[in-house]
Amino acid sequence: MGGATTLTFLGTGTSQGVPMIGCNCPVCRSVDVHDKRLRSSVLVQTQNVTLLIDCGPDFRQQMLCHNIAQIDAILFTHEHKDHTGGLDDVRALNYFMQAPIPVYAENRVMAALQRDYAYVFKEHQYPGAPQVEAREISTQKFTVKGVEIQPVRVMHGNLPILGFRVGELVYLTDTNFVSDESKALIQGCKVLIINGVRKESHVSHFSLSQALQLITEVAPAQAYITHISHQLGLHHSIQAALPPQINLAYDGLQVVVE
């Protein structure tokens, strides 16, 4: 791929974010910025391309926070609203870019987007509606502006979803099972990003200990935990107990992979 790849954590929270509405737990009351988590999404930038992985309800706020005015493509991991709920707001980028944004998703996810955002995909659009180009993907490699992307099949409870490998960087969110075949696709990566929702087991997400076990198996140089709920605990307390090569991600954190 050539050159460095920079990943920015736009959001590192669960579907309800942190703080959670109505909650008065120590994490939700925390004044530490590391404990303020928007819905999970990342921006991946190389010298050739800017990729957004997932476009959740906090998309507008995330774009404003990071002064982002151009995206070359959006990659969707799955169809849940905390990962798709911001698609309408891409119309602001359309206006300044004067171009549609390619949207990459597998068949089932694309069908859900076309159902939930029917006005976006109509042949004759309402003026000012978001402009996207639907591009269906599978588990086969594909390229965006010459950058190779390897989808990685993982399970989110009973729902098959996709993670993505871009060069030496792997992003897996909303998963509680990674097959041996998929582990082979991520083996040897320098940076692994994996969900670790809380300490207790969860029906469709890795717990922290399960995430740490996968990290041990894959053995990346660096690993980051994302999709974190308020139930995990205060950022500084959990981080202090982790090995030096493993970090809790937080909103705004940037990781550079050479």
Is the predicted pLDDT of residue 2 greater than 80, yes or no?
no
Residue 174 confidence (pLDDT): 98
Cβ proximity of 55 and 41 under 8 Å:
yes
143-160 residue pLDDT tens: 999 999 999 999 999 999
Cβ proximity of 68 and 99 under 8 Å:
no
Mean pLDDT of 242-251: 97
215-246 residue pLDDT tens: 999 999 999 999 999 999 999 999 999 999 99
Write the DSSP assignment of 208-227 as a string of letters: HHHHHHHHHHH--SEEEEES
Distance in angstroms (rounded) separating the CA atoms of residues 136 and 49 = 19
- Which candidate, 22, 17, 58, places its Cα nearest to that of 37? 17
Based on its alpha-carbon atoms, the radius of gyration of the chain, rounded to whole angstroms, reads: 17
State which amino acid sits at residue 192: L
Cβ proximity of 226 and 195 under 8 Å:
yes
- Which candidate, 226, 218, 224, 217, places its Cα nearest to that of 243? 224
Please state which of the ranges 44-58, 118-132, 163-177, 215-229 shows the lowest mean pLDDT.
118-132
Q: What percent of the chain has pLDDT over 90?
A: 96
Q: 19: cis peptide before it, omega within 30°?
A: yes
Q: Please give the structure tokens belonging to residue 168.
A: 């030496």
